[in-house]
Structure 1
Amino acid sequence: MTDFIAGAVGGAFGIMVGYPLDTVKVRIQTQKNYKGMWHCIYTTYKMEKMSGFFRGLSMSMSTVSVCSSISFGTYKSCLHNLCKLRYGSAEVKPSNLDIFLSGYAAGGVRVLVTSPIDLAKIRLQTQMQLHPVVPSSCLLSEPKYHSSVHCLRTVVQEEGFLGLYRGCSALIFRDGPSFATYFLSYAILREWLAPAGQSKPETLCVLLSGGFAGMLAWTVATPMDVIKSRLQADGASRPKYRGVIHCLKTSVRQEGVKVLFKGLGLNCLRAFPVNMVVFLTYEFILTLTKQLSI
């Protein structure tokens, strides 16, 4: 339970740090009218002001704690049970394979909750809504979705309940390997950077381990993240993609293999500070609860 709580708090702090760059990443991956990160940032600010960077934040903030709690809680529960099964005790030091498999399970389980949330976030992030100070000559059509809840209701009405899980298979292919990489790289880096003889990691050690673990995880995740974002942004009325394979083949044929790495630099730039905060908060909550229980 402690890991579920620590993961929830860490995830909440992380989303506050990285959300604006996440919006830029999604728009670059799903729309072809941006020349790069800075052009997207400039265009978004020019047309929508600061509010444009926070489309769909309400849904993410209200649910990210649940998602992060599931990720960290499932990881620790799987690791605990796996060690008991393989070694007869949960207190032994897990192998890298144990950590990798537990991380993979955590990534797979969280998809059940995150898929509808992610879909609403993507749909809101990819629709533009002009700020009131933008000249009326630049007016766009009325935005289709007015809020996260309205977006989910509209998707169910137009695409059915399964529409909420559009892109779910791509999300599984993204989160399984990336979370396995995430937890394994954090464990290895934390052990490698920790001073000899210290059981409790120093703050700098946690910050660096968390930051680099986030970057490595997003390096693994980005190709399938591009496909996932395109599938989720694709509406039901006139869909461009029939599924993961069709989206992958179409995207590569039209834009080359480099399309699979759209937003990679931005993902890594965002992942470092976000996961520094996530793991620092996570470790702090774990330490605090242990001290309170003594």
Structure 2
Amino acid sequence: MIMEAGVGVVVEGGQRALKSAHGTVVDAGTRKFLQHQQQHDHSKPSLGPQQSQLGTLSQLLAGGIAGAFSKTCTAPLARLTILFQVQGMHSDVATLSKACIWREASRIINEEGFRAFWKGNLVTIAHRLPYSSVNFYAYEHYKSWLQSFLGQVNQRGSTSADVLVPFVGGGLAGITAASATYPLDLVRTRLAAQRSTIYYRGVWHAFHTICREEGFLGLYKGLGATLLGVGPSIAISFSVFESLKSSWQSERPNDSTAMVSLACGSLSGIASSTATFPIDLVRRRMQLEGAAGRARVYNCGILGTFRHIIQSEGFRGLYRGILPEYYKVVPGVGIVFMTYETLKMLLSGIPTS
């Protein structure tokens, strides 16, 4: 039997596809390769799938609940981090004992009670709901705008664009969210930093006292250090999360989305915290500057505060409290991303697998 056929050989990763006049014949190796490529393409972008099916209100709700839930789960470690960060601010560094998480936790339980681990958590939730909502919402929109601006097509797979878009979008989203909710963050820090002596009796009392004693601008004390730290922190967090999740799903597309988000979010939290912890420590101390009627310690801006800490406490002083920070961000950031991704799929009616 004689058939007229035009046969073309296409080399693709060492595989061959034979095209006949009556159809397309693909050998087993090529079929497997194409299936792998299709799965890889479907796994990108990793954050923000089905965005068009999710309304603005639902997207804001998903981000807000994710942030509040994560902060409540990790509130004890967050308070321990703050207490360690401010050690040495009003004390002789030479007299400070070596930081011990369990000893400090025991002190809090004995002196203040178990509920003290959640001191300031109400204002934390009041801060985190709008902060996380704005953060995720702004990130999705900044990312879309950057993709359009750069002329990026998802299927093109540009490595540089894949890294640049979440990094820049995350940084801009973090700055936007932090600027919009900063006074709540400052009040939360001051409530959490209180020990046995109570100076601020609650959220509204703290707002009123700060405005009366330090002026309205006192609510924005340390904003510069905050923006300097939160931009890179959120940028690193989103870009690492995006990259890890994309790689994971391209290799193991059948794994649970929630578990992948939890694992990748935890690793992204470690990366961002390590890179930006010194800035966060300076931010905390500047927020507490002049709090509770105490004398001012740092009168020299962000760089001067860095210099003062290094001179008085050494370079290691910039990482005071990093251990409880790690204990906090590993579950904390992972829970945020896992909850956000899960809520987005639930609210848009997509199976969570």
Structure 1 residue 156, shift from structure 2 partner: 0.7
Cα distance 1:106–1:201, how it changes in 2: closer, same or farther (>3 A)? farther
3-state SS, counterpart of residue 74 of structure 2 = helix
**Larger deviation: 242-251 or 18-27?**
242-251
Q: Which residue of 2 aligns with 1:9?
A: 65
Map 1:159-170 onto structure 2 (within 5 A): 159-170=214-225
Q: Which residue of 2 aligns with 1:223?
A: 278
Q: Which residue of 2 aligns with 1:55?
A: 119
Map 1:201-280 onto structure 2 (within 5 A): 202-235=257-290, 237=293, 238-242=295-299, 243-280=301-338
Asked if the contact 2:190–2:287 (Cα under 8 Å) also holds between the matched residues in 1, the reply is yes
Write the deviation string for residues 24-70 of structure 1: whole angstroms up to 9, x where unpaired.
Answer: 00000102456312222122222111122122111111231110011
Map 1:92-241 onto structure 2 (within 5 A): 95-129=162-196, 143-196=198-251, 198=253, 202-235=257-290, 237=293, 238-241=295-298
Structure 1 residue 173, shift from structure 2 partner: 1.0
Asked if the contact 1:203–1:280 (Cα under 8 Å) also holds between the matched residues in 2, the reply is yes
Write the deviation string for residues 214-250 of structure 1: whole angstroms up to 9, x where unpaired.
Answer: 1111112211111011111121652111121221111
Q: Which runs of 5+ in 1 are unaligned?
A: 130-140
Cα distance 1:246–1:277, how it changes in 2: closer, same or farther (>3 A)? same
TM-score (norm 1): 0.89
Asked if the contact 2:130–2:181 (Cα under 8 Å) also holds between the matched residues in 1, the reply is no
RMSD: 2.2
- Percent of residue pairs identical: 26
> Structure 1 segments of 4 or more deviating over 6 A?
88-93
Structure 1 residue 291, shift from structure 2 partner: 1.9
Q: Which residue of 1 aligns with 2:43?
A: none
Q: Which residue of 1 aligns with 2:33?
A: none
Cα distance 1:64–1:194, how it changes in 2: closer, same or farther (>3 A)? same
Q: Which residue of 1 aligns with 2:83?
A: 27
Larger Rg: 2
User: How far apart in 2 are the matches of 1:58 and 1:290?
Assistant: 29
User: How far apart in 2 are the matches of 1:200 and 1:288?
Assistant: 18
User: How far apart in 1 are the matches of 2:211 and 2:346?
Assistant: 42
Q: Which residue of 2 aligns with 1:87?
A: 151
Structure 1 residue 288, shift from structure 2 partner: 1.6
**Larger deviation: 158-167 or 237-246?**
237-246
Q: Which residue of 2 aligns with 1:18?
A: 74
TM-score (norm 2): 0.74
User: How far apart in 2 are the matches of 1:221 and 1:18?
Assistant: 19
3-state SS, counterpart of residue 253 of structure 2 = coil
Write the deviation string for residues 235-282 of structure 1: whole angstroms up to 9, x where unpaired.
Answer: 165211112122111111000000111121211111111122111111
Structure 1 residue 113, shift from structure 2 partner: 2.7
Structure 1 residue 115, shift from structure 2 partner: 2.0
3-state SS, counterpart of residue 239 of structure 1 = coil
Map 1:276-287 onto structure 2 (within 5 A): 276-287=334-345
User: How far apart in 1 are the matches of 2:252 and 2:276?
Assistant: 34
